[in-house]
Amino acid sequence: MLAQQVYIADAAIATAVYLSMALGKPLLIEGPAGVGKTEIAKALANALGTKLIRLQCYEGLDATTALYEWNYPKQLLHLKLEESSSASEAEKEAVIFGEAFLLKRPLLQAITERERAPVLLIDEIDRSDEEFEAFLLEVLSDFQVTIPEIGTIKATHKPHVVLTSNRSRDLSDALRRRCLYHWIDYPSLDKEIEIVRAKVPAIDDVLSQRLTEVIQSTRTMGLSKIPGVAETLDWANALVALRATELNDEVISETTGCFLKDETDVATFKEQFAAD
C-alpha cells in the first residue's frame, strides 16, 4: 500500500501503520530529524485517499490555535448590523455563537470531517509544552470536544492519528501509553539508495550509490547536525540540477551546503573525507 505512494516502507513501519488502523490507536513515531516521520502520514493519507490534516506543534500552542476559535471580527460585524433588529439578547447570542462563526482549527477539523476518517498528523509534539500534551490526551482518548457555547461535538469518523517526535523533550508516560510506538532510524545503505532512486528518478545509478555511501559515512563522523534522508534527497536533486555525472571533490565541495548545515561540521567533513 505504502509502496505505491513512493514511500519505501519496511515490515516494521507497515506493521505499525496496520495496527494503528486496525486498533484505532494513535501511532507515535520517533526518530532523528529527517528520516521521513512526517512522510509516513502523507503517504498514509494518499493511500487511503483521504485528507491530511496537519497540526504543527510549537511552544505555547493552545486550544485557540489547535482546536477552535471564535471569529471575533465577524461576530462584531454581525452584532453591529443587527443593532436595529428586535431580536432578543438570547437570540443574538445563539446566532453569533453558531457554527458559522466558528473557526475550526486542525483538531476540530479532524473530528468534524464528514466524508471519511482523515489522517491527523500532529507534527513534532515534543516542541509543544506539557499543558498542550495534557490537553491533547483528552482529545485523543474520546475524540470529542466540548465547546461551552455549542455543546459537545463527537467525531463522526475517528481520525487516523500520527504523532511525530524528535525526542528533544521526553513525552509524558500517559501520552506514550496511549499510542502505539514506532522508532525510525536512519535507513540502511540499500534502503536509502532505493529511496533516492524512487524519489529522484532522474539520477543515475552509479551516482545515487556513491552519494548515498558518502552520506552514510558522514553519519558516523560525529557531526553536530547529522544529515537525514531529507538531506540526501536535497543533495540528489541538487546534483541532478547541476547535471553532475560523477562525485568528485569539486562537486562535493560545491554542494556540501545541501547536507551539512553547520560550519564546524563542514570543516570536520572535509578533514575526514580527505583522509579516506
Partner 1 sequence: MIEIKDLVLFCRALREHGLSVTPAEVVVATTVLQVIDTSDRDEVFLSLRSVLTTSVDDFPTFEELFDKFWSASPRKLVEREPVVSTRRRNVAPPRGLAFFLENWSPSQVTDSKPINVPGADSAESRAHKDFSEFSHKELEEISRLARRIVRRIARQPSRRWQPTRRGHRVNLRRSLRLSLKTGGELIDLAYKRRRPKRTKLVVICDVSGSMDMYSRLLLQFVYGLQNSFAKVESFVFATALSRITGELKNKTYQRALDRLSSSVEGWSGGTRIGASLATFNDQWLRRIDKRTVVIVLSDGWDTGESEQLAAALSLLKARAGRLIWLNPLLGSSTYQPLTRGMQAALPFINVFAPAHDLASLRALEPHLVL
Write out the residues near partner 1 by the rule CB under 8 A. 11-12, 15-16, 19, 22-23, 25, 27, 30, 59-60, 62, 70, 72, 75-76, 79-80, 82-83, 89, 92-93, 96, 129-131, 168-170, 173, 176-177, 180-183
Angstrom distance (rounded) from CA 274 to CA 276: 5
Least CB distance from residue 93 to partner 1, whole Å?
6
Give whichever of 42 and 178 is closer to partner 1, judged by the CB atom. 178
Question: Rounded to whole angstroms, how far apart are CA atoms 204 and 263?
Answer: 30
d(CA 227, CA 143): 37
**Rounded least distance, CB 276 to partner 1, Å:** 26
**CB nearer to partner 1: pick between 92 and 105:** 92
Phi, psi (5° rounding) for residue 160? -85, 115
Least distance (Å) between residue 85 CB and partner 1: 10
Residue number with CB closer to partner 1 (90 or 274): 90
> Are the C-beta atoms of 56 and 123 separated by less than 8 Å?
yes
Query: Quick one: 129 or 204, whose CB is closer to partner 1?
Result: 129
Report H helices in 143-262. 173-178, 189-199, 205-218, 229-241, 249-255
Q: Name which of 30 and 231 has its Cβ closer to partner 1.
A: 30
> How far apart, in whole angstroms, are the C-alpha atoms of residue 19 and residue 25?
8
Closest CA to 196 of 234, 242, 226, 244: 234
Question: Minimal distance in Å, beta carbon 268 to partner 1?
Answer: 16
Q: How far is the CB of 12 from partner 1 (least distance, A)?
A: 5
